[in-house]
Amino acid sequence: MGNNLPDQLLVESILRGNTNAFSEIVRNTRGLVTQIICRMMNSVEDRKDISQDIYLKAFNSLRSFRFQSNLSTWIGQIAYNTCLNYLEKKKLILPGKFFDEDDQESQEVSYDFSSSATSETEVLIFRKEMGSIIQSSIESLTPVYRTMIMLYHREELSYHEIGQIMKLPEGTVKSYLFRARKALKENLLSQYKREEI
């Protein structure tokens, strides 16, 4: 974290009136912002308005940016808050718990995935099937946890950066990620067993 010279130069250039330098910021943060928007918002129609809103907010508050985090993390934070506000306004987000607390105490079930497939082709088919089951499980997660999983595993952000974006303590991020992965694994297990029956 801390000062990033290219970020600082870009911000100074924009503040001097070079609006076109902002496109560089858009290019640098496009992946992260797209990931947040798409994981938080199911409505494809609203994504354009939301993305414009995110970058307009970032542009207008650029003067208040103090380089206490990376510019991308700061824009990620704006993106996350904007999506969250949108979902709350539309009452599309379930406040409070993500999983029931009982889930944590659920029975530990074990299944030997590796022994299910024997030949190489079977292994490939098995992996493909598992991939699609996991993908549908990811879709069924709440937007906040889906975003968290993707930021950690796909965007490779640290717990600290995710905490900054979502305004959560690092410990909470770790705990939520643990529960999300556990839910994904249990979902995978139950769906696989159902298909096998």
Minimal distance in Å, beta carbon 100 to other proteins?
16
Closest separation in Å from C-beta 41 to other proteins = 10
Contacts with other proteins, residue ranges (CB under 8 A): 17-20, 22-23, 26-27, 30, 33-35, 37-39, 44, 47-48, 51-52, 55-57, 59-61, 64, 78, 81-82, 108, 110-114, 127, 130-131, 133-135, 137-138, 149-150, 153-154, 178, 181-182, 184-185, 188-189
Closest distance to other proteins from the beta carbon of 158 (Å): 11
Give the span between the Cα atoms of 51 and 46, in whole angstroms.
Answer: 9
Q: Which is nearer to other proteins, 4 or 158 (CB)?
A: 158
Residues 6+ apart with CB under 8 A from 21: 10, 13, 14
Please report how close the Cβ of residue 30 comes to other proteins at its closest, in angstroms: 6
Q: Measured from the CB of residue 112, what is the shortest distance to other proteins in angstroms? A: 4
Report DSSP letters for the chain, one per residue. ----HHHHHHHHHHHTT-GGGHHHHHHHHHHHHHHHHHHH---TTTHHHHHHHHHHHHHHTGGG--SSS-HHHHHHHHHHHHHHHHHHHTT-S--S-SS-GGGGGS------GGGT--SHHHHHHHHHHHHHHHHHHHHHS-HHHHHHHHHHHTS---HHHHHHHHT--HHHHHHHHHHHHHHHHHHHHHHHHHHH-
- Between 168 and 185, CB nearer to other proteins: 185
Task: Give CA–CA dist 74/81, Å, rounded.
Answer: 11
For tokens 């595993």, the residue is: 153
Q: Which of residues 93 and 186 has its CB atom nearest to other proteins in the complex?
A: 186
Q: Shortest approach of other proteins to residue 2 CB, angstroms? A: 22
